[in-house]
Amino acid sequence: MAYGNLQVARLLEAGLKEAPAGARGAESADAGERGADVPADGVNLVTDSEALDARRSAGRNAELAAVSDATSDDKAYRLSAARTHSDHALVLDDLPTEGGIATAAFEVRGENAWKFRLQFVAGSGDGAYGVFDLENAAVTVGRLAEARQIAAGVERLQGGWSRIWLRAAFPRRSGKGAVSLSLADAQGQYTFKSRGESILLRRLQIVRGTELPPYKAAPHDEASADRARGN
């Protein structure tokens, strides 16, 4: 089923009350049991990774806009917090991640924000979250409900960019997934009034399996892209 933004927020709030503390460092992992495997095929499940700014529901109290990036041929975006006292997030839902292992990854560069929370949740409420600190190349992970094999990492790249990833093994019949990236202010709070907090994003991909291949935009599928954009 499609996973609404409000459902995502409520599940994360409930999960954080029970989730174990994760390790800190360039990579961190949860000690959960092995989940259901899905062979790694390298296919990017984000059908419009080069057109995210066309999604009607992508920004939640935030603006997502395409920006020029002289260092890459791939499209880059700026995620900016709205001028309201609220949470500020990028939300991508209706992702075909039912059952098995899936990994979400993208490249990010801080502008006026260097901390954020990334969550990867199935329709069943199973999933994972990672709290990322770009300045220190650190991440803390936690498990939501019955997801297993939770892990995350940060890799520093050239030009101030970092590649971050979050992985979870979802139970069978867990339902379609959603990914949400929530900006934090300088104090690490997720509900705040914007003072210009923003980050740059590019090369967003979600793949099945534990191996993370080099970024490749998904083949253009107009019908899938229209559904993702709310058309």
pLDDT, position 197: 94
**What SS3 state is found at 96?**
coil
pLDDT, position 56: 65
Q: Report whether 130 contacts 116 (CB < 8 A).
A: no
Q: Where are the domains of the chain?
A: 5-229
As its CATH architecture, domain 5-229 has Sandwich (2.60)
Q: Which parts of the chain register pLDDT below 50?
A: 1-6, 8-25, 32-38, 223-231
pLDDT, position 17: 38
Angle at 70 between CA 68 and CA 76, to 5 degrees: 40
